[in-house]
Amino acid sequence: MTRQAPAAPRRLDFATELTRWEYAAAPETTRVEIAPRYGHFIGGEFAAPAGGGGHFASINPATEQPLCEVAQGSDADVDAAVRAARDALPAWAGLPAKERAKYIYRIARRIQERARELAVLETMDGGKPIRESRDVDIPLAAAHFFYHAGWADKLEFAFPGTRTAGTPVPPVRPVGVCGQIIPWNFPLLMAAWKLAPALACGNTCVLKPAETTPLTALRLAEICVEVGLPRGVVNVVTGDGRTGAAIVNHPGIDKIAFTGSTEVGKKIAAAVAGTGKRLTLELGGKSPNIIFEDASIDQAVEGIVEGIYFNQGHVCCAGSRLFVQESVLEEVVEKLRIRMASLRVGDPLDKNTDVGAINSKQQLATIRRYVEAGVAEGARLHEVNGHPLPDRGYWCRPSFFTGVQPSHVIAREEIFGPVLAVMSFRTPEEAITRANNTPYGLAAGVWTDKGSKIFEIARRLKAGVVWLNTYNKFDPASPFGGFKESGFGREGGLQGLRGYVRI
């Protein structure tokens, strides 16, 4: 019997895992299902792409099925978004700071209210386990908006170095229109990292989410409408690298904030040089995780797992280089092997899953190339997790290499996947030297029960963030960013506000 189709397209709820509109005016055997389409969010409204940009599919990496189609941003779309942001700037910057704070606070509250929907959507679009989306990504995104709402009316007191005795405090003014380009590993959280401080300081924004994970950014645009945010203050233009390049090169942009690969960050820095645009870059990393013989080994093993297998290793500050003191190397490797065998790999929507799907087919191919390179260079690959993988989707077993030399490609280059390179050291001096022997400088971890050693090692590590007897812990009040090829500038905390104000 043929089912009756609705007379018009029906919007279905992502939170129930239904992701299609049905169009039907024919028997079921010929009925066609078409994924819903999203346009850009410009000037407070969703708009179809201009200039023939068209649409592309956003794929669920755990099933390889399309979730929906999103617009490919063109130069015309970016120009429209920048003009909308420019038009909204005077009123938003001129709004009393306490009123700006109220809008930002409402966004945070609405994220909390829609947390279940956002967590499911984040997991379906990106492949990360629902437990991580539910317990980490969404709560932290709300926390960043809450935190920066509190800063909005305190900016004049935030930078005491600008005051001179006997003179009034200079005004703190917004930078202007901010172009913000975010990656696919933490889509909603990265949007919060970018938007919250910019809005608190009175700027307007043009946000471009990654092409593989645009959906929670578009949901955030809906939230901006729900809380009554003035039109044009936040604009979202979806698309691939061409859209990002259009934002970087647009003359109406006053600041670029980019999180992504070092390779792209270098190109953006070259494009922005000489234009007068502000720039902050949060780029790649090859972060060391150092375990001393006097550490609590069981605790450290949990830190290793959190450092490299969290979010399938799709973390710029992942502890991908493990340095273990020789006297405890065998113990650490054996306990790591046992712990990894217990990790559940599979359906990201299962709350018991530990390691979900790799974000895209392209990223999976990249990870596999690095694994093959590690084996070819003579390192020993350990894939101790024997759980069967699903038949469809992009999957990679968590693994680690032993017998790794500093010259090996897996010890030098960012893999951005659940692959760990294990190396040893004898003395603290050797550990510091080997940890700093990298073009990156984003993060590091130190594990020891001796407090004096912790702070001495941390002081000498060339990293923007150093975790002590823990790993991958974040807080909106704590600045995050790196040195060397890991970028410059900070996000979060008082230091993160500095890039969004003129003094």
3-state secondary structure labels for all residues of 64-102: CEEEEEEECCCHHHHHHHHHHHHHHHHHHHHCCHHHHHH
**Listed residue (481, 457, 477, 480) closest to 469, CA to CA:** 457
> In this structure, what DSSP letter does residue 230 have?
P
CA distance 396 to 394: 7
Tell me which of 122, 211, 282, 306 is the catalytic residue.
Answer: 282
What are the Cα distances from residue 300, in Å, to 34, 310, 335, 441? 49, 15, 10, 22
DSSP string, 301-323: HHHHHHHHTGGGG--TT---EEE
Q: How many residues are present in the chain?
A: 503
Q: Clarify whether 491 is annotated catalytic.
A: no
Tell me which of 68, 316, 317, 396 is the catalytic residue.
Answer: 316
Q: Where are the alpha helices (DSSP H) in 396-491?
A: 409-412, 428-436, 451-460
Q: Clarify whether 456 is annotated catalytic.
A: no
CA distance 244 to 75: 10
- Residue 253 tokens read as 């942009």
**Listed residue (199, 186, 107, 133) closest to 480, CA to CA:** 186
Catalytic residues: 282, 316
